[in-house]
Structure 1
Amino acid sequence: MSKVRMTTAVPVLSVVAAGALLAGCSGSVSVGKSEPKVSADKLATTVSEQLAAQTGRPKPHITCPEDLTGKVGSSTRCKLTADDGSTLGVTVTVTSVKGSKVNFDIKADDKASPAAN
């Protein structure tokens, strides 16, 4: 499985998504709060946008069930749902925090789950 590293700056959030199957990557978040936190909706939207930009394909449907807290070791599980209904789990884990910048890794599961019938 390949690993892609890339950092993208966005006013509130920077997230990176890797190739077509989200093999693995790193990203960062900059926020002005005392304890940085990335909302679940913003995280999902940005992962989707970055994946589309990386692959040149339409934005995939990404959902994240909770906010990502800017504390080393904190993580959340997101889900990518493909057009055929199959899903791929994605784990986002905070690796470091420097001031208002939160660095994290994104790692996709090795196998997708088939679409529900």
Structure 2
Amino acid sequence: MDDMRIGFPASLACGVVLVAGCSFSFSAGGNAVQRTTVEQQVGDQLAAKVGQRPKAVVCPDDLKAEQGATTRCQLEANDGSKLGLTATVTSVNGSDVNFDIQVDNK
């Protein structure tokens, strides 16, 4: 068990490089991507890249559907360690919104 708790943050850190370049596309259905959608997609991508889902991903706000718009979120590993991340809109095409995520190094 201890190996898993220690291993997850290391895996998470390795996954940062992989996730940082990921782009997500969603229909915004208005002028923003709902925070719950951002949270879900971040968790899904981390699970796919590092093989474990974070304990939680929490974003305080929706992500505005405007190129360059950002929202800061926090992810929590299963061992309780926390990392910040930024979701940034890279393009908007009608109701489709593309965004990248960048997980903090520390």
State the TM-score, normalizing by the size of structure 2.
Answer: 0.75
Say what the alpha-carbon RMSD is for the aligned residues.
Answer: 1.7
Q: Structure 1's 72 and 82: CA in aligned 2 closer, same or farther, altered over 3 A? A: same
- Secondary structure of the residue that 2:22 maps to in structure 1? strand
Aligned position for 1:40: 35
1:15-54 correspondence runs (5 A) = 20-21=12-13, 22-23=16-17, 24-31=20-27, 33-35=29-31, 37-54=32-49
Aligned position for 1:99: 94
1:34 CA displacement: 4.7
- Secondary structure of the residue that 2:90 maps to in structure 1? strand
1:100 CA displacement: 1.8
Q: 1:72 aligns with which of 67, 72, 86?
A: 67
Whether the 8 Å CA contact 2:63–2:70 is kept in 1: the answer is yes
Gapped runs of 5+ residues in structure 1? 1-18, 112-117
Higher helix share: 2
What count of residue pairs does the alignment treat as equivalent?
A: 91
Q: In the alignment, does 2:100 pair up with 1:108?
A: no
- Secondary structure of the residue that 2:12 maps to in structure 1? coil
Q: Distance in 2 between matches of 1:92 and 1:48?
A: 13
Name the aligned partner's letter for residue 104 of structure 2.
Answer: D
Q: Distance in 2 between matches of 1:63 and 1:78?
A: 6
Aligned position for 1:6: none
1:32 CA displacement: 5.9
1:44 CA displacement: 0.6
Q: Which runs of 4+ in 1 moved over 6 A?
A: none
